[in-house]
Structure 1
């Protein structure tokens, strides 16, 4: 995440002051706060996929210890009051959505507490993940507390992505812990007011980008850059699918986990440093080369998610700030891995320097063929997960995260990696997961792609001078099956000569054609 300098922070806060006074000086919705660009795309998708849970995010935690359910309920309401986006609904006026922030004092919201057997927890988490939000009337957060045994509880929080992202987990958990501690003492939490709210950010975003009519505005400059960079981009990436793409994507997926050994992680990190790149760029290059070897060609667009919190005043705010960039990898000319990495470095730095243009606006400008069956501009997303987990610290209660194990496929392939380090800060391995769309892939195919990805990372880290065409994506068993198993065509051959065999055919099928030369045909007889 990048941080702005003091002047940019002051500029943001000045904008916020104007926006806040503007909102506060009107009654009702005379001034309608627009959605951010990212929110607008999610709202649009929600209209297309009514009652869909594809954009839900779930936080689930086991809570061990004497928990005060009433204090937790009050603390959650405190957090919702503190972060306006959590009590925002999205009605429309003349077909145009806007942010309507509900008064916390009038909010009809509560933590749902119920008894549950330990064996029912997984089903309860799955059910919570499927909760449908009506964005026009429902605040984008629901929570359940499952009482599973004495001093044993499970907290489940479901949020719509329109109000949160992975980075938001940290301020959400921190503020919940602060509020719970206060409510456990029958007190209200005492915290510093947030310098900005999400609605202010949505207004500032438009001021930052400027107008189309101004050729020197950030919007115009970055739009021109992306139009040039993405000219001629493939409409759809060719992947090794098991079946044709349906007319409408279902959102169902298969998940395959994989691990990259510490020694491979260390070699990749050293290579990245030597080449003046990041580990992310090295991994992205390897992924692009794998996709190319699997039949995707040499023009490989891959999506990259960026935090989007380009000002330090946004760090402690819950909200949806993530933007998506398209990193186009040129693998023409059979490059060595080092050469491909240099190309990815150049394209990535250019993309990061022009990351303010919202992806939603980029799609409008590039205007690819729109389809409900696939994601526009790219179908493969690569994410390095470095956002802090929701480490919830409640007084006298130990919290342990639960994997919601929800597999939603918003892309053909969604690749996520997380790096770990040892006590001395050295690379200790990469943990990853690939989610493949069930519409296109069998579970076994997704697992196979994960295995090949690890194989490619091992190969390029050991021999970065290797060319794309020499990159081996086959395992030992696969190679043996192709070279030996499928060619196991040996058969017993008798001792008869060719003349004896021919004579046998004369007796069996004398009228059959034996020799053809031009228009002349001779039978065996």
Structure 2
């Protein structure tokens, strides 16, 4: 049995992009994934039961997103769907890399629930690789870490004869319904004047792409922020009563928007209220930060402005879909279906260390993240996405359209970014 549910504001934004650029979102390659090493023995049957438990716990994973005969896009939640555990033999290190690439690059249709695919790679040395894949329409980076926690909890409970994690989390359908509640509507309405003022005329400030071109092959460049530099930045952030995120944002603005007095930086936020922390789903939001300085070369001024603007934006954090009507020129630019892209807004995000850990004191499934540089990057419907992932180390991941942003341009911006971080750490 299935039930049709409304789309969240976040999903509606994605579907607006799909209507403008068909195939960008309703695409079997539009996924998020996380890979882990398991250094101990695994019971495959128990793991399969645990995957079933995770699917039962989160209704987003049981949701099919389909385009009907009238070309309308709808979401249908299935009452029950068996989980999907895919088992592979992995012989050596080269096979491991091929396995990780296969798990990232396989096709994952959004209309075939469950929209969770767990790949188990059994390695010759007795360890295993576990890759958790979800379609991005019903999941995000926050969800992946939550699902990994829930999988570890379910495996531990099943192996030791206890009850599996229940379904006491807020359902995704309830989250979608809450998007249209009177209390949330009032919050949104109160925030709109702020955004109308902030976004007035921003479409004219879009960054020209180095080489205007068409969407096509994506390139990913990775770099690492040295541990010693990260520690120094933490001390500077505390002294200035700001956050490491603000300093990263300052470095991004100073390097990618070098010399511009008016920078407009869309940042990705988790888009979650506390009641939604334990619910898997696509809930991301974009906050458009307009950072204006008198002297863009003055890093002290730039970091102060970045801090002020960021704090104000978070106080007015409401769905972008509701904000865009206040800035019709920006809306037209975002959803511009033109084949050749000439201007864009590079997007910035921080992916913090997961707040989720197994609930058992002695979990039976121990998941160690595979280093990011070993994992192929999924395809994203953005011209340029600059991500900073904070875990055991701080890794930068720049994903961009290869035809528009050449390797030399990206490397120059990365070098500039790290140079600005050094200057901030020395301040």
Q: If the TM-score is normalised by the length of the shorter chain, which range does it land in?
A: 0.7 to 0.9
**The one of 200, 206, 214 aligned to 2:174:** 200
Quote the Cα distance in structure 2 between the aligned partners of 1:46 and 1:65. 42
Counterpart in 2 of 1:380? 346
Counterpart in 2 of 1:310? 273
Counterpart in 2 of 1:451? 415
Deviates more, 1:175-184 or 1:365-374: 365-374
Matches within 5 A, 1:2-41: 29=3, 32-41=4-13
1:327 aligns with 2:289: yes
Cα deviation for residue 210 of structure 1 reads 5.4
Question: Does the Cα contact within 8 Å between 1:75 and 1:183 map onto a contact in 2?
Answer: yes
Matches within 5 A, 1:66-215: 66-91=41-66, 95-104=71-80, 107-118=81-92, 119-149=94-124, 151-185=126-160, 187=161, 189-207=163-181
Higher RCO (C-alpha 8 Å, min separation 6): 2
1:449 is paired with a residue of what secondary structure?
Answer: helix
1:142 is paired with a residue of what secondary structure?
Answer: strand
Residues 375 and 347 of structure 1: is their aligned pair in 2 closer, same or farther, counting only changes over 3 Å?
A: farther
Question: Does the Cα contact within 8 Å between 1:260 and 1:431 map onto a contact in 2?
Answer: no
Q: Which structure has the larger Rg?
A: 1
The TM-score normalised by the length of structure 2 is: 0.84
The TM-score normalised by the length of structure 1 is: 0.70
Question: Which structure shows the bigger proportion of residues in strand conformation?
Answer: 2
Question: Does the Cα contact within 8 Å between 1:363 and 1:377 map onto a contact in 2?
Answer: no
Residues 133 and 207 of structure 1: is their aligned pair in 2 closer, same or farther, counting only changes over 3 Å?
A: same
What is the root-mean-square deviation of aligned Cα atoms in Å? 3.2
Cα deviation for residue 260 of structure 1 reads 4.2
Counterpart in 2 of 1:298? 261
Residues 63 and 266 of structure 1: is their aligned pair in 2 closer, same or farther, counting only changes over 3 Å?
A: closer
Quote the Cα distance in structure 1 between the aligned partners of 2:59 and 2:342. 31
Quote the Cα distance in structure 2 between the aligned partners of 1:418 and 1:113. 28
2:123 is paired with a residue of what secondary structure?
Answer: strand
**The one of 216, 220, 229 aligned to 1:254:** 220
Quote the Cα distance in structure 1 between the aligned partners of 2:51 and 2:191. 40
Question: Does the Cα contact within 8 Å between 2:29 and 2:106 map onto a contact in 1?
Answer: no
**The one of 345, 348, 361 aligned to 2:322:** 361
Counterpart in 2 of 1:433? 397
Deviation per CA, 1:391-423: give whole Å up to 9, x if none.
6799666543224232535434322234579xx
Quote the Cα distance in structure 2 between the aligned partners of 1:66 and 1:410. 38
Quote the Cα distance in structure 2 between the aligned partners of 1:397 and 1:314. 25
Cα deviation for residue 53 of structure 1 reads 4.6
Residues 28 and 306 of structure 1: is their aligned pair in 2 closer, same or farther, counting only changes over 3 Å?
A: closer
Counterpart in 2 of 1:286? 251
